[in-house]
């Protein structure tokens, strides 16, 4: 086994209906009334961006969950220029707008898929628009018949793209990083999806952030061991700054200690 390397914690700011929230990922629907909210913050997005900036945390994610979130997202990006990435409704038409307003990278999923298929023409278009070094591909996935498949359209639609070593190798040619939510456990504070973490750590050769299920320092320790230092981690609902029981400060210090 190779020597373990530093564990990088990527913070997140999820925005829904203009507010910073934490929601159960697989309850996302076109009808906002069906969304299960774990937490709704009394603070705006810039509050969290300032916190992450002061703690020197880079490569965090601002995710716009549906329409009506642009202004709030821009507030976060302006507070921490080049410190945050942005996703949610990103296309080749609007990507540069967010980069010009302070995002370090743009994150894409649904834009590069149509009717469950990866559209290489759209992928090429956004690479041409922003450059490979500014693009993060979101391969958030769910398990089906023992395999992992990318889910799109607010995680409601299975694509036919299996996440495996071959897919990872091919898509690494187009992007600077991957963001991968384990959708089945996202927002449920039920522990990480260990088999996905173990496989991803063997497949990727570019920075890749895993999200989903971390609820304790013990989960972080398990993640660190299983991933062998090859994956970064993001945590949402479990953190005390988002209404959970896990100390944000303790997570920051744990990751710095590794």
Q: Which of 48, 24, 43 is nearest to 34 (CA)?
A: 24
How much is the pLDDT for 1?
A: 39
Hey, is 145 helix, strand or coil? Answer: coil
- What does the pLDDT read at residue 33? 57
Q: What is the tens place of the pLDDT at every residue in 187-220?
A: 666 689 999 999 999 999 999 999 999 999 999 9
Output the average pLDDT for the chain.
92
Q: Does domain 9-257 have CATH number 3.20.20.70?
A: yes
Contacts 24+ apart (CB under 8 A), 79-84: 79/45, 79/46, 79/49, 79/50, 79/53, 80/49, 80/50, 80/52, 80/53, 83/49, 83/52, 83/53, 83/57, 83/58, 83/59, 84/13, 84/49, 84/52, 84/59, 84/60
pLDDT the model gives residue 153: 82
Residue with tokens 């009717």: 115
Give dist(CA 62, CA 64) in Å, integer.
7
Give me the mean pLDDT over the 47-75 stretch.
96
Token pair of 148 as six digits: 């992992």
Average pLDDT for 90-103 = 98
Question: Who's near 89: CB < 8 A, 6+ residues apart?
Answer: 64, 67, 110, 111
Q: What is the pLDDT confidence band of residue 31, given thresholds at 50, 70 and 90?
A: low
Share of the chain above pLDDT 90, in %: 82
Q: Say what the pLDDT of residue 25 is.
A: 54
Strands 37-40 and 19-23: antiparallel
Residue in 226, 197, 201 with CA at minimum distance from that of residue 212: 197
* Domain ranges within the chain, ordered by starting residue: 9-257
| Sign for the pseudo-dihedral over CA of 95, 97, 99, 101 | negative
pLDDT tier for residue 38 given thresholds of 50, 70 and 90: confident
């Amino acid at each position: 086994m190779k020597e373990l390397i530093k564990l990088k914690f990527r913070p997140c700011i999820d925005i829904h209906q203009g507010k910073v929230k934490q929601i159960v990922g697989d309850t996302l629907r076109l009808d906002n009334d069906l969304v299960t909210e774990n937490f709704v913050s009394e603070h705006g997005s810039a509050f969290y961006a300032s916190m992450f900036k002061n703690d020197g945390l880079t490569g965090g994610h601002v995710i716009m969950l549906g329409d009506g979130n642009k202004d709030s997202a821009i507030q976060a990006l302006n507070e921490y220029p080049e410190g945050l990435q942005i996703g949610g409704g990103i296309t080749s038409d609007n990507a540069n707008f967010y980069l010009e307003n302070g995002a370090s990278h743009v994150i894409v999923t649904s834009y590069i898929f149509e009717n469950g298929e990866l559209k290489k023409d759209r992928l090429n278009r956004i690479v041409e628009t922003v450059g490979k070094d500014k693009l993060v591909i979101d391969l958030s996935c769910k398990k089906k018949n023992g395999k992992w498949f990318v889910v799109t359209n607010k995680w409601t639609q299975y694509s036919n793209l299996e996440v495996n070593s071959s897919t990872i190798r091919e898509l690494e040619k187009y992007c600077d990083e991957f963001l991968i939510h384990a959708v089945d456990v996202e927002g449920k504070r039920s522990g990480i999806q260990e088999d996905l973490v173990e496989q991803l750590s063997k497949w990727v050769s570019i920075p890749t952030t895993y999200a989903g299920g971390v609820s304790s320092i013990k989960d972080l320790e398990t993640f660190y061991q299983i991933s062998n230092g090859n994956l970064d981690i993001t945590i949402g609902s479990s953190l005390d700054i988002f209404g959970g029981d896990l100390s944000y400060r303790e997570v920051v210090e744990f990751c710095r200690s590794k």
